[in-house]
Structure 1
Amino acid sequence: MYHAVMGVDDNEERAIACAQAVADLPGAGSDARVTIIHSFTDNPTGASAPQIGSVREATEYLEGEGVEVTVTESSGDPAEQILDVAESEDANLIVVAGRKRSPTGKALFGSVTQSVILNADRPVMVAGDTDD
């Protein structure tokens, strides 16, 4: 079974882009398992990760594609948390979202994405924007 760890922030469009990228992988569906991680840097409402719209949307999309999904949450530096979960779960792949940038900023990813790419000890897939 193929296992991916997918970092999801509060943006639903980026979460769906990551979910679509995972569902489009060869052999996805019943042969794939995804751990979605949402790292809280500030949580004044006391919500849990499954209550966050982006996490809920990504989970529903993946489950609709036949992918087994688990959701985990953490607090602290999101990049460190994504890398820690990927290592502890022995994931085959880390999936994070890219962001649209200005022409001069296209060489740079967001700080979380860039940190994951630079510090990962396994493949990292950066998902683009959705067509919607």
Structure 2
Amino acid sequence: MYRVLVAVSDDVDQARKQAEFVASLPGRGALDVTVTHAYDETNERGPHGESLPPEESDGVQAAKALLEDAGVPVETRETYHPVAEGVVDLAVDVDADLVVVGARKRTPIGKAVFGSVTQSVVLDSPVPVTVVGVE
């Protein structure tokens, strides 16, 4: 079994591109895919004060649907802020063999000011990372 963690954002088109990449990997039947999206730790509370799980983001729903349509088994997991750290921790937790992240077009100044989740995941991941870019 080859375990793949797909970390998506709210960008549905990007999430679909990431899912298409995973669906194109050889041996789809031997893939075990986890799709995740980072959420705030301030989830809504239920009537008894319990933390309610967040609804799946549009990106998660799009990636999950595309992968399921391609016959790839998918599970979804939550991760929380800080995003890059959460993705790397989840990769370890699910024993991933590969992490698939998306890239956004950003100026060098934008990267310097706001940081880059993709860059942090690439640098900190204990397993290979595939970056699926935008066209």
For the residue of structure 1 that corresponds to 2:29, the secondary structure is coil
Q: 1:18 — aligned with what?
A: 18
Is residue 2:32 matched to residue 1:48?
no
Runs of 4+ off more than 3 Å: 41-47
**Residues 49, 73 of structure 1: 8 Å contact kept:** no
| Paired positions, count | 125
> What's the TM-score, normalizing by structure 2?
0.81
Cα RMSD, aligned residues only: 2.3
Mark the CA change 1:64 to 1:119 in structure 2 (over 3 Å): closer, same or farther: same
Mark the CA change 1:94 to 1:40 in structure 2 (over 3 Å): closer, same or farther: same
**Residues 12, 57 of structure 1: 8 Å contact kept:** yes
Q: 1:113 — aligned with what?
A: 118
Return 5+ residue gaps in structure 2 as ranges: 45-51
Q: 1:99 — aligned with what?
A: 104
> What's the TM-score, normalizing by structure 1?
0.83
Larger Rg: 2
Superposition map of 1:48-67 within 5 A: 48-50=54-56, 52-67=57-72
**Residues 18, 102 of structure 2: 8 Å contact kept:** yes
- Which letter maps to 1:83? V
Q: How far apart are residue 2 of structure 1 and its match? A: 1.0
